[in-house]
Amino acid sequence: MQITWLGHAGLRIEQDGYTLVVDPGVFCEQQALAAALDDADGVLITHEHLDHLAEDAVRAALAKKPQIEVWTNSSVAAQAEGTPATVHVVGDGSTFTAGGIEVQCYGEWHDPIHRDIPTVRNTGFLIGGSVFHPGDALTNPNVPIDLLLVPSHGPWTRTGDLIDYVRELKPNRVSPIHDAMLSQVGNDFLGMLLSENPGAGPGTGAPFSKMTLGQPFEL
């Protein structure tokens, strides 16, 4: 399985000639996102917020390539009505295969932002039995995880909770995503706190490495 980070929460995953795009949002690097959607055979969307769903770009891709299949929760699926794509409604406990890639679904809701802001549905995806993309929730799937993608920063996150989240899930390794609202200083500081380097942070028990934007790697 080959993985390419598209920026923020977006991923391109390729296996055996099948291309899966995860959370194609407006904060992805736009050229990389456009290329990924052009090549996409399947799309996974964790929730409806624009940094995870660039609706115009996704609708254009689905119109151009109607054989694309989409897997997402009921809220996002309702927004995809009128497109020619096949849209599969999934939720906590769902399991499906996308082009030979097994995907399991965990969680129901976005973590709270504020009591005055409605909470939306959020579905985390365990992809290929290895990579867990939680969307915008600190969901514990209670299964072994090779690579945990941790949301770095958002209006609902607290760094101490991220540290405890990694400790709780005990992945083999961890990489940050969801970082569009962080400066370089903020990214560096978060990396220090999540690092296993002696004295750098409190420690999580998992090796930490940031993915390189647009650079594929094998898992």
Express each pLDDT in 72-103 by its tens digit: 999 999 988 888 889 999 999 999 999 999 99
What count of other Cβ atoms lies within 10 Å of the Cβ of residue 199? 7
Residues 20 and 99: their CA atoms lie apart, in Å, by 8
Judging by beta carbons within 10 Å of its beta carbon (0-12, 13-18, 19+), is residue 93 exposed, middle or buried?
Answer: exposed
Q: Is the dihedral of CA 23, 26, 28, 34 positive or negative?
A: positive
pLDDT at 94: 98
The total of other beta-carbon atoms located within 10 Å of residue 57's CB is 17
pLDDT for residue 105: 98
Token representation of residue 50: 């624009």
- 22 pLDDT band, cuts 50/70/90, is very high
| Angle at the Cα of 219 from the Cα atoms of 29 and 161, rounded to 5 degrees | 70
pLDDT level of residue 176 (50, 70, 90 thresholds): very high
* 183-209 confidence digits (pLDDT tens): 999 999 999 999 877 677 788 999 999
Residue 170 predicted with pLDDT over 80: yes
Instruction: Kindly report, residue by residue over 110-129, the tens digit of the pLDDT.
Output: 999 999 999 999 999 999 99
Q: Residue 83: what pLDDT? A: 84
pLDDT tens-digit profile of 23-56?
Answer: 999 999 999 999 999 999 999 999 999 999 999 9
Q: What is the dihedral of CA 27, 211, 188, 109, to 10 degrees?
A: 50
The CATH number that domain 2-208 falls under is 3.60.15.10
